[in-house]
A and B are shown apart, each in its own frame.
Chain A
Amino acid sequence: MGRDKWSSLVWCGMGLFICVGSLRLSLGELHNPGPGFLSFYAGLILGGLALVIHFQSRKASSAHKKTEPDPIWKNRQKGWKMVMTVGALLTYAVIMNYLGFLISTFIFLAFLLRVIEPQRWSVTLLGSLAASAAFYFIFEMGLKSQLPRGLIQIF
């Protein structure tokens, strides 16, 4: 319940943002609804319900005299691993355009295998190489997907 207090505020903010954005787009008339018509009511429902949950949660936590929400991660170290995985995914998506599919995939897999759940170097390097090559052959050669070739324009 403690967590709902904060998450509902985020959704409430989102609802407000949608409503303001929809008003800017124009709601139109009832006989000729504008582009912001449906999204405005969606934002209104989202924001309104988020407020209800927020107040319910406040009421519940004050009844239990609970001020601090439960921590989001049970294990901080593993939580950081999750954050690093997200970082790796985003970096991978960005560098793929510059380094091409094969090189960036090799780096991405090596990072996950070595840093997130450490494996031996031999497993990391051979595994990353084999998986990158396998994906390249399946998707580029087999399924004719146009995987990024990067600045070098080789792979």
Chain B
Amino acid sequence: MFGFGELIYGLSITLTFSNLLYCLAGCVIGTLVGVLPGLGPVAAMSLLFPITLHIPPVSALIMMAGIYYGAMYGGSTTSILVNIPGEAASVITCLDGYRMARQGRAGVALGMSALGSFIGGTLSVVALQMVAPPLAKIALAFGFPEYFALICCGLVVLTFMARGSMAKALMMAAFGVFLGTVGTDLFTGVQKFTFGIKILYDGVGIVPVVMGLFGISEVLLNIEEGLTQEVFQTKIKNLLPSLKDWADSVGPIIRGTVIGFFLGILPGAGPVISSFTSYAVEKKVSKHPEKFGTGMIQGVAGPETANNAAIGGAFVPLLTLGIPPTPGMALLLGCLLSYGVQVGPLLIKNTPDIFWGVVSSMYIGNIMLVVLNLPLIGLWVKILKVPYVILFPLILLFCVVGVYSINNTTDEVILMVVFGIIGYLMKKYAYEAAPMVMAMILSPLMENNLRQSLALSHGSFLIFFTRPLSAILMITAMALLILPTLPWLRAKKWKGLDEAE
């Protein structure tokens, strides 16, 4: 089988006591943050970012990846039992999952969600293992113009996939590009928009920005909207679905895996859009679309499979091109860069331990997560019963201590609070944070490749259109920018998803 020998090599790395422990720690923390509303995987990964600097890179990546896919498992528990999504990718599970719980089928919903997640997660790792190495070989042909075109195309796709207004998403991407340029100019040494603030000399820190936008802002919003949550009181029994449940769920699980993996590769789509798309598709292909929202198991199995499959897909551009498609992946990139790992097409060749170690850990991690989420479900339900009034001070404290520990300065804590306020206002005024974070992370790479390309072409922008690959990418980006202005497409763009909502 393709990559079988390498997988065995990867397993030899993962199956050491310390790496198994890091994998388990990642899965437990991931499930925990998935279960708790208001602290998503990105905030949790930012929180553990400083800790990862003290452990070997493979172990760090194994743990961080565990948090990311673990949160997808945990998120569904809260959606099904509380009707509040534990994290964004489980929003859609509330619709049918909570209804199932009210009908006394909470166990089946939780069971199918965990098993679907396991199948989707595992199959997407198989696909990642097969797709990534040949893609990395193709990516070796990339030069400065191709990289710039790829980043442009990625950012445009990201804004195209945005749930709300594309213009607003583009604005956020532009602001993110600006934020990414802050710091010392690599070519001239000039200080750009630093205003004499020392912590900005090396650029705006990813962790304070991510923690502010995704962690602090969420808590602020919860405080304003009320801190009460009610766990639906039900006895959780029959976690294993019946044959009929399996028959109803096989199709959604297969479709969810395919949708999740391929949408996961696209910048910005990630687990959230994958789960929405899966739900919309299931509703479309169902003989009884009117029953969706009343407790259909297909509405749980499909999206929960898709959001896990998307994680495997999201690793493809990160590990082959060095381009992260989601903020969570961007943190993994930051983690790799902090170790001095050469991220890009040569990663698999130069550091096979990292690639195959992470891939094999995802197989192990998915097995751990099924155990954590099925037999130990009672534990997570108990955690859900901890009142949010007790949890939110702890979440804030975690954010503060996590950010402080990176450079031992309170200035970055203040920066995090500032971005918390910005994130809160952005949510209130319907501006998406993801394009901003992604653009901010990709901006230095974009600037470097743009300036190098222009130097190479003596100032001619035609360089992006005379080389075939970059021309295709640039034309795709331009087409995606023009498409939404066509009225028929604008009406059609998110019709399916809106129906799902």
Interface positions of A (Cβ within 8 A of B) = 3-4, 7, 11, 14-15, 18, 21, 25, 29-39, 42-43, 45-46, 49-50, 52-53, 72-75, 78-79, 81-82, 85-86, 89-90, 92-94, 96-97, 105, 108-109, 112-113, 116-117, 119, 127, 131, 135, 139, 143-148
Contacts and interface: CB of A to CB of B under 8 A. Distances in A.
A42 B224 CA distance: 33
B396 A39 contact: no
Interface of B: 50-51, 54, 165, 167-168, 170-171, 174-175, 177-178, 181, 185, 187-188, 190, 192-193, 216, 219-221, 223-227, 389-390, 392-394, 396-397, 400-401, 404-405, 408, 410, 413-414, 417, 420-421, 424-425, 428-429, 431, 443, 446-447, 450-451, 454-455, 457-461
A29 B459 contact: yes
Given A45-B174, A86-B417, A3 B429 contact: yes
B404 A81 contact: no
Given A37-B451, A73-B224, A148-B410, A42 B175 contact: yes
7 closest cross-chain pairs (CB), A and B: A30-B459, A31-B459, A35-B185, A117-B389, A42-B177, A45-B174, A93-B413
A18 B451 contact: no
Nearest to B192: A35
Given A25-B192, A93-B414, A127-B390, A82 B220 contact: yes
Contacts of A117: 227, 389
B223 A82 contact: yes
Contacts of B220: 82, 85-86
A105 B396 CA distance: 11
Given A50-B171, A81-B224, A86-B420, A38 B181 contact: yes
B177 A92 contact: no
Contacts of B447: 37-38
A38 B429 CA distance: 27
9 contacts: A97-B410, A108-B397, A117-B227, A127-B390, A131-B393, A135-B401, A139-B405, A147-B404, A148-B410
Contacts of B181: 38-39, 42
Q: Which of B177, B178, B216 has the most CB of A within 10 A?
A: B178
A60 to B, nearest CB: 12
Contacts of A31: 454-455, 457-459
Given A39-B178, A81-B223, A49 B170 contact: yes
Nearest to A90: B417
Given A92-B400, A116-B223, A143 B405 contact: yes
A45 B170 contact: yes
A53 B54 CA distance: 46
A42 B439 CA distance: 11
Contacts of A131: 393-394, 397
Contact of A33 (B170, B216, B450, B458): B450
A86 B178 contact: no
Contacts of B450: 33, 37-38
Contacts of B408: 145-146, 148
B191 to A, nearest CB: 9
A155 B427 CA distance: 38
Contacts of B225: 74, 78
Contact of A112 (B216, B392, B413): B392
A78 B181 CA distance: 37
Given A29-B459, A90-B417, A148-B404, 7 more contacts: A18-B178, A25-B192, A79-B224, A92-B400, A108-B397, A112-B392, A127-B390
A147 B401 contact: yes
A152 to B, nearest CB: 17
Given A7-B431, A145-B405, A39 B193 contact: yes
B392 to A, nearest CB: 7
Contacts of B431: 7
Contacts of A135: 397, 401
Q: Which of B174, B394, B461 has the most CB of A within 10 A?
A: B174
Contacts of A34: 188
A34 B420 CA distance: 32
Contacts of A50: 171
Contacts of A144: 54
Q: Which of A11, A73, A89, A90 has the most CB of B within 10 A?
A: A89
A102 B226 CA distance: 29
Contacts of B393: 108-109, 112-113, 131
A35 B410 contact: no
A43 B171 CA distance: 9
Contacts of B171: 11, 45-46, 49-50, 53
A53 to B, nearest CB: 6
